[in-house]
Amino acid sequence: MSAPAIILRRWLSRIRTADEAAYIDYIAQTGIADYRATPGNLGAQMLLRPLGDGTSEVTTLSWWPDMDAIRAFAGEDAETARYYPDDDRFLLDKPERVEHHRVVAGIVLGGE
């Protein structure tokens, strides 16, 4: 029996490393909260990676059962990145597109 399909939505940008703490608070109240409030969302995380030049790479990952659930979050054009009113305060880059990947193998953390 095959596992149910899961789709990973990945978005990537950069912020000033000095803004990391404020951005974590901000994204928890905007993007992550919206992911979690969308029916069908299977989970979401934000990753930070200092680049050593005063900037940090930000990646958000969210998991979904299908593209319909992603469209409920992102709108009809699910490949278009979704932004919030205060994003310009933090983001050094605003990519227009996101990536979607089929999860075809893996483990569940904390699983038995």
Q: How far apart are CA 62 and CA 78, in angstroms?
A: 13
For residue 111, is pLDDT > 60? no
Range of the domain at 56: 6-103
In a domain, 62, yes or no: yes
In a domain, 54, yes or no: yes
Split at pLDDT 50, 70, 90, the class of 1 is very low
In a domain, 109, yes or no: no
In a domain, 110, yes or no: no
In a domain, 97, yes or no: yes
pTM: 0.88
Q: In a 3-state reduction of DSSP, which class is residue 70?
A: helix
In a domain, 42, yes or no: yes
Q: How far apart are CA 57 and CA 14, in angstroms?
A: 4
In a domain, 67, yes or no: yes
How many residues are there in the chain?
A: 112
Q: How far apart are CA 23 and CA 74, in angstroms?
A: 21
CATH of the domain at 64: 3.30.70.100
How many domains, the chain? Answer: 1
Average predicted confidence (pLDDT) for the chain: 92
In a domain, 108, yes or no: no
Question: How much of the chain, in percent, has pLDDT values that exceed 70?
Answer: 91
Q: Is there a contact between 34 and 81 (Cβ–Cβ < 8 Å)?
A: no
